[in-house]
Structure 1
Amino acid sequence: MAQHPTLPVAQPAPPGLWVIHCDGSAIPNPGRMGLGATLLAPDGQQHSLSLTSSLVGCNNEAELRALIAALQHAHALGARAVAVYSDSTILIEQLQPPQQDKRAPAPIARLAEWFDNARAWLARFDSVQLQWIPRHRNSAADTLARAALGAPAKVAQHPSHKKKKR
């Protein structure tokens, strides 16, 4: 069974919190990269990003590029506190501060520069929350990433609605 980052204890949201859902897609993998993100401002205004990278990369690089693009956009709009949601276990595990009782995951050398770039952007905010979410809860960002590549949206099913294998 896949292990996912531990869910943190709920804490009150900082004032002015921006909510970001981000996703990246590489078609094929590796291949062209599409970046998608939704941003919800504290006043309820919604923003979306659907971008294509001119470079070829893997799905993990696309996830990182989508996060960085979303952080840059939020920062340009004046965000000081962000809650980032992603369905990429690697992204969340690599960017979370190490916990005392757990061993930090091994860094991915070929993506080190992108993780450093993401950390630099996260450091520009006064408050940052990172949270892994299941794929079916990130479908809007996934649709934007796939749309950037001209690919149709995936039909995301809630795990309880999937057909059971026999």
Structure 2
Amino acid sequence: MTRPAPLPPPADTWLIWFDGAAHPNPGRIGLGALLLGPEGQRMDVSEPGGRSGCNNEAELLALGRALELALAAGAQHLVVKGDSDFAVRHLRGEAHTEVPRLVGLIDGTLALLARFTSVRLEWVPRHRNPDADRLSRAAIGLPDKPALRPVSRRRRR
């Protein structure tokens, strides 16, 4: 049985890309996010997390910060993209953790998500999330990651 195609998002949908960095892991936390509004609005988030933690904490804190900004801007419909399999799966209810620090962050993020009329959470590969990655790394003084080189499709002889 095939699934029906998802409905397109409403015209007033905001797009959010989020990422978090921890250096070392666990260590200093950097939050990064890019918000794009339906009328061309753009907000960049590049902030230190204000505490030490792991990469999963950084990812959830970055998304939480982006959601707070989206709420303040009056957004009601969101498409949220991140390269954190942990965050996306846990927020969708597809995975669970018993780590108290993470449970609290997940619950807080879910409470923020519930304030929007519609939200679509999407996992994207890391190379499709370069702006949020750059912003999260910059927040704690890390340089950009080198760009991925294209893979050659030529066969060796």
**Shared fold (TM-score greater than 0.5)?**
yes
Q: 2:106 aligns with which of 103, 115, 122?
A: 115
Q: 1:30 aligns with which of 13, 26, 29?
A: 26
How far off is 1:162 after superposition? 4.2
Please report the RMSD computed on the Cα atoms of aligned residues, expressed in angstroms.
1.8
- Counterpart of 2:66 in structure 1 is 70
Percent of residue pairs identical: 46
Query: What TM-score does the superposition give when structure 1 sets the normalisation length?
Result: 0.84
- Counterpart of 1:137 in structure 2 is 128
Q: Counterpart of 2:138 in structure 1: which amino acid? A: A
Distance in 2 (CA, whole Å) between partners of 1:141 and 1:44 is 18
Name the stretch that deviates more: 105-114 or 22-31: 105-114
SS at match of 2:29: strand
Matched, 1:106 2:96: yes
How far off is 1:108 after superposition? 4.1
Distance in 1 (CA, whole Å) between partners of 2:13 and 2:62 is 19
How far off is 1:54 after superposition? 1.8
- Could you tell me which runs of 5 or more consecutive residues in structure 2 were left unpaired when the two chains were aligned: none
How far off is 1:47 after superposition? 1.0
- Could you tell me which runs of 5 or more consecutive residues in structure 1 were left unpaired when the two chains were aligned: 1-7, 98-103
Counterparts in 2 of 1:6-17, with a 5 A limit? 9-17=5-13
Higher Cα Rg, which structure: 2
Moved beyond 4 Å, runs of 4+: none
SS at match of 1:113: helix
Deviation by residue 1:69-128 (Cα, 9 ceiling, x = unmatched) = 00000100111111100000011100114xxxxxx4232423000000000000000010
